Amino acid sequence: MGLESYQIEKVESVTMADIVEKRLLDYFKKNAFKPGDAIPKELELAEALQVSRNVVREALSRLKMLGMIESKKKRGMVLSEPDIFGGFERVLDPLILEQQTLQDLFELRMVLEMGLADLIFRRKTDDDVAELERIVQKSINQNKASFKVKHEIAFHGKLYAMTGNTTIMRFQNLLLPIFEYVVSEEEKLYGIPPISDVGHGDLVEIIKNGTPQEFKEAMRIHLSPHFDRLS
Amino acid sequence: MGLESYQIEKVESVTMADIVEKRLLDYFKKNAFKPGDAIPKELELAEALQVSRNVVREALSRLKMLGMIESKKKRGMVLSEPDIFGGFERVLDPLILEQQTLQDLFELRMVLEMGLADLIFRRKTDDDVAELERIVQKSINQNKASFKVKHEIAFHGKLYAMTGNTTIMRFQNLLLPIFEYVVSEEEKLYGIPPISDVGHGDLVEIIKNGTPQEFKEAMRIHLSPHFDRLS
């Protein structure tokens, strides 16, 4: 067996900022710090960790970027509820992600879409259904490509909103540009996929009068132009 | 209407590092930088942006944390394929996330689980099924709580692995501790939920001889103890 079979791991270059960042995270966890709790000053941390203030500032800056630390007037730095997808948002650039990662994220959105049914049926309201109907109504006789994209985003976005789960909504909003990028790259290679046998109007009808099970089957057919292109 | 109804947004305190970080990201995008491309030196960036070297170092350090920049011997700094969930991983601490965010992430994992069927059936192999059978076999007559948790992780982890999608696998691995935290908090309040009518053995049987549609129905029943506790 060659070295590859053992999946030998390359030694990543670890900087002082990496080490201090990790120490700080461990320190917060071990001491059960909660949002709102004041954390020690830069100088105190530098002394406790025996590193330069610059390194501490660098590590704290990373945690500020993630929203884990806020600077408060008069109170100094406090721990805060982080933006859980803040780092994710920054790296989601189709140009710097590998093809396989883009494909993975494309599939991740399909998995989410296929998994929404139970939350939608549990939490749907008459107002939600009325809004879906308005969205579908507006799309009739509109054939411009730019309108269609907007309509797709409005319709599927409303389905996510109906889960009542703002974290899932935010996550899908972040995935959306990647999804559209992969779809448009595929269209360049293979042309525009055939239109699905199940349209948005059919999905609304099932949300109104059908079952989660029927919705799952219909959504699978609705997404089949994308599923058919998977390897 | 009070101010709240207008959802007036609070002015976030923006630091120089925030601004420089954003400028750098925009610069990479506008110039279509790809992984491997060398980026200007710290000093050059500081001069171009008319800010201090410390601020540039701080912003670069953030991008290094996200894996977007690597320092290479002799070549200086180059753009690299980022770790898309690196920032997400750092903030996933049950102690600092709000209850609602934890609940949202718990539901996000259920949505993923419900949405896996199509990828599993498209990519399953005989080896996969054999491994699932081994996992189930090992769990028979094992009743220790610690074993059961390990078994749950092994079984559901294998289902994710069968999608062939390493991004989805990594994402679920990150969500898992949050999922288990929410489950254990619920058990403290409401006791251990009833055992589902569909077990792991039934799920494997369907993967072997059934359809994606049957698997979705069975998985919904398998997860019903969790679904029944949703609001």
* CATH code of residue A96: 1.20.120.530
Mark whether A56 and A102 lie in a shared domain: no
pLDDT one digit per residue (tens) for chain B, 231 residues: 445 455 555 556 788 999 999 999 999 988 889 999 999 999 999 999 999 999 999 999 999 999 999 988 888 999 999 999 999 999 998 888 999 999 999 999 999 999 999 999 999 999 999 999 999 999 888 878 888 889 999 999 999 999 999 999 999 999 999 999 999 999 999 998 888 999 999 999 999 999 999 999 999 999 999 999 898
For residues A223 and A133, membership in a common domain is answered with: yes
Query: Would A187 be classed as within a structural domain?
Result: yes
Q: What is the pLDDT of residue A6?
A: 54
Are B38 and B118 part of one and the same domain? no
Cβ separation B84–A65 shorter than 8 A: no
Q: Which two tokens stand for residue A72?
A: 């408060």
Alpha helices in B50-98 (DSSP H): 53-65, 86-91
Tens digit of pLDDT at every position of chain A (231 positions): 445 555 555 556 788 999 999 999 999 988 889 999 999 999 999 999 999 999 999 999 999 999 999 988 888 999 999 999 999 999 998 888 999 999 999 999 999 999 999 999 999 999 999 999 999 999 888 878 888 889 999 999 999 999 999 999 999 999 999 999 999 999 999 998 888 999 999 999 999 999 999 999 999 999 999 999 898
Q: Measured between beta carbons, which residues in chain B are less than 8 angstroms from residue A109?
A: none
Residues A29 and A96 in one domain: no
Last residue of a domain, one of B79, B110, B125: B79
Of B95, B110, B168, the CB nearest to A104: B168
B201 and B165 assigned to the same domain: yes
Residues A110 and A93 both lie in one domain: yes
Tell me, yes or no, whether B2 lies in a domain: no
H-helix segments, chain A: 16-30, 42-49, 53-65, 86-91, 99-115, 117-123, 126-139, 145-161, 166-190, 200-209, 212-222, 224-227
Chain A residues touching B107 at Cβ < 8 A: 119, 163, 165, 168
> Based on the domain organization, do B60 and B98 belong to the same domain?
no
Distance from CA of B144 to the nearest CA of A (A): 28
Distance from CA of A65 to the nearest CA of B (A): 7
My answer on whether B119 and B181 are in the same domain is yes
Taking a C-beta distance cutoff of 8 angstroms, is the pair B198, B222 a contact? yes
**Minimal C-alpha gap between A114 and chain B (Å):** 5
CA dist list (Å): B62 to A55, A175, A224, A226, B27: 12, 22, 40, 36, 16
Orientation of helix A212-222 relative to helix A200-209, angle to 10°? 170
Structural domain span for residue B22: 16-79
Which of B81, B82, B104 is nearest residue A168 as measured by Cβ atoms? Answer: B104
Q: ipTM value, please give it.
A: 0.90
Closest-CA distance of chain A to residue B73, Å: 10
B32 assigned to some structural domain = yes
- Total number of domains constituting chain A: 2
Structure-block tokens of residue B118: 């199509």
Q: Are A157 and A59 part of one and the same domain?
A: no
Residues A104 and A71 grouped into a single domain: no
Count of Cβ atoms closer than 10 Å to residue B107 Cβ: 23
Residue B9, domain member (yes or no) = no
Based on the fold, state whether residues A74 and A92 are members of the same structural domain: no
3-state secondary structure of A72: strand
For residue A8, is it within any domain? Answer: no
- CB-CB under 8 Å, A105 with B119: no
CATH number of the CATH domain containing B42: 1.10.10.10
Backbone phi, psi, residue A98, to 5°: -70, 155
Flag whether B8 is in a domain.
no
Q: Do A83 and B65 touch (CB under 8 A)?
A: no
Which secondary-structure segment (H or E) carries B203?
Answer: helix B200-209
Residue A91's identity, in one-letter code, is V
DSSP secondary structure string for all residues of A151-182: HHHHHHHHHHHTTT-HHHHHHHHHHHHHHHHH
Mutate to test the interface with B, among A111, A169, A170 (most CBs of B within 10 A): A111
Q: Which of A32, A53, A79 is the last residue of a domain?
A: A79
Domain termination site, one of A79, A97, A114: A79
Nearest by CB to B84, which of A88, A113, A122? A88
Residues with Cβ within 8 Å of residue A4, at least 6 apart in sequence: none
Contact yes or no for A165 and B113 at CB 8 A: no
Q: Is residue B96 located within the same domain as residue B74?
A: no
Residue A133 belongs to some domain of the structure = yes
Residue B27 belongs to some domain of the structure = yes
Query: What gap in Å lies between CA A114 and CA A214, rounded to an integer?
Result: 12
